[in-house]
A = this chain, B = another copy of it.
Amino acid sequence: MDIALLGGTGDIGEGLALRWAQDTDHTVVVGSRDSEKATRRADDYGTLLGERGVEHNVVGMGNEAATARADVVVLSVPPEYAISTVETVSDGLTSDDVLVSPAVSMDRDGAGFHATPPEDGSVAQAIAAVAPEDVPVVGAFQSLAAGALSDLDTELRTDTVVTGDDPEATALVRSLADAIEGLRALEGGPLAVTALVESVTPLLINLAMNNEGMHDLGVRFQ
C-alpha cells in the first residue's frame, strides 16, 4: 500500500513517515508543496533509516503527485493549510482512497492553549465538507507527540483515537496505526465526535507547560 504524507517534511509527518517506513512494508510517499524539498526530505529519511539497517520504501514528490499515487493520504500539513491543501489535491482523490486528518485547531492566550474548532465542529468535519463527497475522511493521529514519534530510539506507548463514518476506512486507518510499534488505535466513533479528540492536543501542551519534567506527552486510555 502507498501512504502519502502531505506536509511530510514537518513534525508529525516526519514521525509517521519514519515509523511506517521502519515498521511496515508500505511505501511512504513524502509530499510537499515543493517537490524538490519532498525529494530531499525523503532522501534524508532514507539515509537515517539506512544507517539503522532498516529496509524501507520512501519516496518524495509534490503533494498533488503524492495524492494521485497513494491509497491513504494523511493531511499532516499545518492546520491552517489543511483546507486549502485538500482543495489543491482533490483531483487526485478517488473513492478508493482514504483521507486522514491529524490536524487540530487551537489558539493560545494568557491562560494557555484552547481548542478553537471550526464551525463544522472539528477540523476533520471541515475537511470532509470540502473533500470530494465519495472520499472517506478519517480523524487520527492528533495527539501524538511529534518529538517522540520522530525519534526512532523512543519506544512509544501511546494511543490514537480513530474516528470516521466509513467502517472500512476507519478499520484501514486503525490497522495502519496499530502497525506502528507501541501505538494503539482505538475506535472513537463517527466523525461527528472528533472535536473531543482534537481537544486533547491543547490539553497535552498545557500539561507539558505546567508540569516539570513532562514533555512530548501522549495519552493512554486505561
Name A residues whose Cβ lies closer than 8 Å to a Cβ of B. 109-115, 157-158, 161, 186-193, 195-197, 199-200, 202-204, 206-207, 209-211, 214, 217-222
Given A188-B210, A193-B203, A196-B203, 13 more pairs with CB closer than 8 A? A111-B191, A114-B192, A115-B199, A158-B222, A161-B203, A187-B210, A188-B203, A189-B206, A195-B199, A196-B202, A199-B199, A217-B222, A218-B222
On whether A111 and B161 interact (CB within 8 A), knowing A186-B211, A218-B222, A221-B204, the answer reads no
What CA separation (Å) do A112 and B194 show in the bound complex? Answer: 10
The minimal Cβ–Cβ distance linking A130 to chain B, given in whole angstroms, is 20
CB–CB B221/A222 < 8 A: no
The minimal Cβ–Cβ distance linking A137 to chain B, given in whole angstroms, is 14
- Which chain B residues lie closer than 8 Å to A189 at the CB level? 111-112, 206, 209-210
